[in-house]
Amino acid sequence: MTDVTPNISDAVESLRGKDQADGLRKIFGDGGAIPTFVIVSSLQADASVTAGIGVAHLMLREGKRLLFVDQVPLGDRFDQRHFNKVRYDVSQALTGTVPLEKVASRVSERFWFSAGAKLQGLLRRRLTRQPITVPQSVARSSLEVDLILTVTQKIDRDVMRLFGGEPRCMLLTSTVPESMKKTLINVRELSVTYTGVPIPILVVGGESETQAQAAYDLLERKSLEHLQQPLAMMGWVRTADLNAMLDGISEPDIDESTSFPVGAYRTMATALTGEQ
């Protein structure tokens, strides 16, 4: 069962409002840049990657060509099914060490995959020259993509610069206090560039919509009180329980991975692009 609170349209309109025009231009950057979208997740590693891959496939079905940059460290995962084996990290393309064509793995005709876990440390190294951005690297390569989609668990304003301009971001949080704490830290980083433009956020899991709303209300109150940064709730998604789905069909099994109802990927894509 998919439960998404019915305020998606209102949230999208809040991102489209007349007072947001300048802010959104700032977020997307000036014309000519490849649109870049960032899923900033405080969920556990496997759930974060699953969210990104699901949104990527939704965009692919809509005819988009994309480069997916996976910033979630491989060592933090239990499930590596969504990780394409690659030899290089996208940071090596940005420093000119390895061409992007060798860094990115071609999954299908319109889908390119790249690891990006080393981006966090790239700008802390002593480099002989300033690295280029991911959109610049794509523009200089033979890759033909319409957009760049990346997923990370920890946003960093320096890493944001590596995606050119100010990419459009959304937040994923759960109702667990540790996840909410990480979300507020990510909000703090994003507030430097969003500067009052509402940041879309989707609450995942929890026992009820009431619990999800309470978690969002607390996050919004803290964000406004300490950062004056508004949030925009895109809804609540109940995660799919594999054991419950198989009840009455087979013996219960232990499955702790997070599975999203397919409607959740549409909600995430809407939060990122503003298109329903």
Residue 153 has a pLDDT of 95
State how far the Cα of 119 lies from the Cα of 156, in Å rounded to an integer. 10
Q: What is the pLDDT of residues 112-167, one digit of tens each?
A: 999 999 998 887 776 667 889 999 999 999 999 999 999 999 998 888 889 987 78
Q: What is the pLDDT of residues 163-218, one digit of tens each?
A: 987 789 999 999 999 999 999 999 999 999 898 899 999 999 888 899 999 999 99
The residues facing 200 across adjacent strands are: 232
Q: Which of these, 38, 136, 151, lies nearest to 95 by C-alpha position? A: 136
CA 150 to chain centre: 6
Maximum Cα–Cα distance across the chain: 62
CA angle 165–183–44, rounded 5-degree value? 105
Q: Which of these, 70, 59, 63, lies nearest to 269 by C-alpha position? A: 59
Taking a C-beta distance cutoff of 8 angstroms, is the pair 261, 1 a contact?
A: yes
Residue 21 has a pLDDT of 39
Residue 121 has a pLDDT of 83
State how far the Cα of 141 lies from the Cα of 131, in Å rounded to an integer. 15
Residue whose tokens read 């802390």: 124
**Model confidence, pTM:** 0.84
Euclidean distance between the first and the last CA atom of the chain, given in angstroms as a whole number: 20
State how far the Cα of 202 lies from the Cα of 79, in Å rounded to an integer. 23
Return the CATH number of the domain spanning residue range 8-273.
3.40.50.300
CA distances from 69 to 30, 72, 191, 227 (A): 22, 9, 23, 29
Taking a C-beta distance cutoff of 8 angstroms, is the pair 257, 79 a contact?
A: yes
Q: What is the pLDDT of residues 90-119, one digit of tens each?
A: 999 999 999 999 999 999 999 999 999 999
